[in-house]
Structure 1
Amino acid sequence: MLAAAVAAAAALTATLVTTSANAATFPVSPAQFDQMFPSRIAFYSYDGLLDAMQKFPAFTGSGNDTAQKQEAAAFLANINHESGGLVYVEEINQDNWPHYCDAAQPYGCPAGQSAYHGRGPIQLSWNFNYKAAGDALGIDLLNNPDQVKNDSSTAWQTGLWYWMTQTGPGSMTPHDAIVNGAGFGETIRSINGSLECNGGNPAQVQSRVDAYQRFTQILGVEPGGNLSC
């Protein structure tokens, strides 16, 4: 029993140290997070985001202080748009839900035709994205996509997975767009550029830009150039 207690204490200490390290490297305080998302639901917790960051240490951990704050603001601005201010966990328009099954994939859609609709802060969609995200994170999201809406850390992990590793319709990951100075507009292109950029939906683009400028102001950092796409 003593050995088990010591092991449990050590595990708790390691978790606290890791969480503290994430808090130290994430340039957004809990108070600033609440200021950015005054209507957010409890599911999208600050601690859930810090926990998810354990798998992506380069997130807000690359470049100088300006780049780190710009990346935090850019990520949070995009998820603000995608989730209605961290209010929605699932895609609102249920009529779209059956449209995200690419039956041409060899693994198909084992959870059902309508199971791969948008979930989480960046609205993870399509069976192939659930498969790829799950493989990368070590979670079987292809067969259990609802884990994204049921577990806060998993939801945040899928958002960070896309941000850090996927180019989408763009030419670089959103992370690289900020760290390499391509600008906020390139993060939009990588997330939803095929529908919004190049005049596709300027109102949606402006919504993201407005949030980014508001968040950079809260963090006390210049937004940089190339804000639109």
Structure 2
Amino acid sequence: MEEINGASRDYCDEDNTQYPCNPDKGYYGQSIGFGGLNSPETVANDPLISFKTALWYWMNNVQPVISQGFGATIRAINGALECDGGNPATVQARVGYYTDYCSQLGVAPGDNLTC
């Protein structure tokens, strides 16, 4: 069990058979060319693996929901840490930054801005 921004989060899901969990490490292993199951710290220590991990996560969890609005991307990235009342102030700040960037770029932010 790890604490992130004051919220406990259990990364080890015993039912996940595609990306099994190592209970001693508490992280999933992804098939991106390194032993993530037994050495998750590699993500923090190797810039190439860090980039591959971020890209893998984006392509598998965020990109599929982009058409649903900015709020769906917040949910895909931060889930219960921010959404469904988890941290409404953070969500509003994130939406504020997003709409400000959209304004600076001259693009519409779209609908469904919150999660």
Alignment of 1:5-84 (within 5 A): none
From the two aligned structures, give the one with the greater strand fraction: 2
2:90 corresponds to 1:177: no
Give the gaps of 5 or more residues in structure 1.
Answer: 1-90, 116-125, 167-173
SS at match of 1:203: helix
Alignment of 1:1-229 (within 5 A): 100=10, 102=12, 104=14, 109=22, 113=24, 115=25, 126-128=26-28, 131=29, 133=30, 135=31, 137-166=32-61, 174-178=62-66, 180=67, 182-229=68-115
Letter in 2 for 1:188: I
Compared CA separation, residues 207 and 160, structure 1 to 2 (3 A): farther
Indicate the percent of aligned positions where both proteins have the same amino acid: 42
Give the gaps of 5 or more residues in structure 2.
Answer: none
Higher relative contact order (CA 8 A, sep 6+): 1
Tell me the CA shift for residue 206 of structure 1: 1.4
- In structure 2, C-alpha distance between the alignment counterparts of 1:208 and 1:127, rounded to whole Å: 27
- RMSD, aligned α-carbons: 3.2
Compared CA separation, residues 142 and 96, structure 1 to 2 (3 A): farther
Tell me the CA shift for residue 204 of structure 1: 1.8
Q: Give the number of equivalent residue pairs.
A: 110
Structure 1 runs (4+) greater than 4 angstroms displaced: 105-108
From the two aligned structures, give the one with the greater helix fraction: 1
